[in-house]
Amino acid sequence: MTQLVVEDLSVTYESQSGEMFTACTDINLTINSGEFITIIGPSGCGKSTLLHCLGGLLEPSEGTVRLGGQIVNRPDPRKAAFVFQDYSLFPWKSVADNVGMGLRFAGASKKDIAAQSREKLDFVGLTKFGDHYPRELSGGMQQRVSLARALALEPQILLMDEPFGALDEQTRRALGEEMARILRNAGQTVILITHSLDEAIFWADRIVVMSSSPGKIAEVMEVKTPQPRDLSFMATEEFQSLRVHLFEKVEFNQLSQKA
């Protein structure tokens, strides 16, 4: 079933100097229910701009985004929830309270908030940490709290913008395998922006490669190895072939941007 359709999307800004700047243009993309899509490309190619349009945080200058046939023109966390690199946790609130904050803002009852917080903390493997505070958790654990908060809203789509960018490589790999399992079990459609070639391949059903500014979709690549995957996938011929191709594609775009 088709879930998210982007048609002829372009976003143009006016700079402080009054000049017009096009962040991305002519974006056409169809994402099916339950797909895991990763987006990769050089800095400044409009990846985050596109993600913000998909979640209704930004209105396109041209074109449309449709979710289930309805135009997306405003944020609705029960339809599309964001997970950012910055965990955005309230340091003075417990982990359980942080998980329930989205539901609280949505007007859910205290009973429902408590039940969903417990369920989602258990789901991400943090059952014993509900009474702790964010400062008492590692970076990887805080990111799982952020994910639990998004999942508590039971959105149709998760939009993830460099969620592991602040973590070291070893933690990213260990957490990546665990998070892939969690998100597969959750069943949401996931769209992940990353600068990591390994993450882009490991997580994805399809990889969207964007060209340099103004950002366009240069290629959409399918990852054929079925889910779920473990870290041994990174040693396979398919993974290495995809990685070489991605490196050449992204490196070429970066050099073209500098030229």
Q: Tell whether 111 is covered by a domain.
A: no
Query: Model pTM?
Result: 0.88
> For residue 154, what are the CA distances in angstroms to 28, 83, 104, 119, 254?
26, 13, 14, 12, 37
Q: Report how far residue 212's alpha carbon sits from residue 115's, in angstroms, rounded to the nearest whole number.
A: 45
Length of the chain: 259
Which pLDDT belongs to residue 255?
41
Which pLDDT belongs to residue 223?
95
Q: Report how far residue 83's alpha carbon sits from residue 147's, in angstroms, rounded to the nearest whole number.
A: 6
By the 10 Å C-beta count (0-12 exposed, 13-18 middle, 19+ buried), 128 is classed as: exposed
Rg of the chain over Cα atoms, rounded to whole angstroms, equals 19
Which pLDDT belongs to residue 92?
95
Name which of 32, 25, 36, 82 is nearest 210 in CA terms. 25
Q: Tell whether 58 is covered by a domain.
A: yes
Which pLDDT belongs to residue 239?
96
Name which of 223, 209, 220, 222 is nearest 253 in CA terms. 209
Q: Tell whether 137 is covered by a domain.
A: no
Q: Check which CATH number belongs to the domain holding 73 and give it.
A: 3.40.50.300
The number of distinct structural domains making up the chain is 1
Name which of 125, 116, 123 is nearest 96 in CA terms. 116
Which residue matches tokens 């799982």?
Answer: 144
Q: Tell whether 55 is covered by a domain.
A: yes
Mean pLDDT by 10 residues, the chain (259 residues): 86 82 93 93 89 94 93 90 85 94 86 90 90 91 89 90 71 68 78 90 93 89 89 92 90 52
What one-character-per-residue DSSP string does 72-119 give?
--S--TTTEEEEESS----TTS-HHHHHTHHHHHTT--HHHHHHHHHH
pLDDT tens for 228-245 read 888 889 999 999 999 999
- Domain of 48 in residue numbering reads as 2-79+191-258
Q: Which amino acid is at 9?
A: L
- In this structure, what token pair is assigned to residue 166? 């602040």
Measured N-to-C along each axis, helices 110-123 and 169-186 cross at an angle, to the nearest 10 degrees, of 120
Q: Tell whether 208 is covered by a domain.
A: yes
Q: Tell whether 158 is covered by a domain.
A: no
Q: Tell whether 95 is covered by a domain.
A: no
Q: Tell whether 131 is covered by a domain.
A: no
Inter-residue contact 254 to 241 (CB < 8 Å): no
Name which of 217, 176, 218, 224 is nearest 196 in CA terms. 176
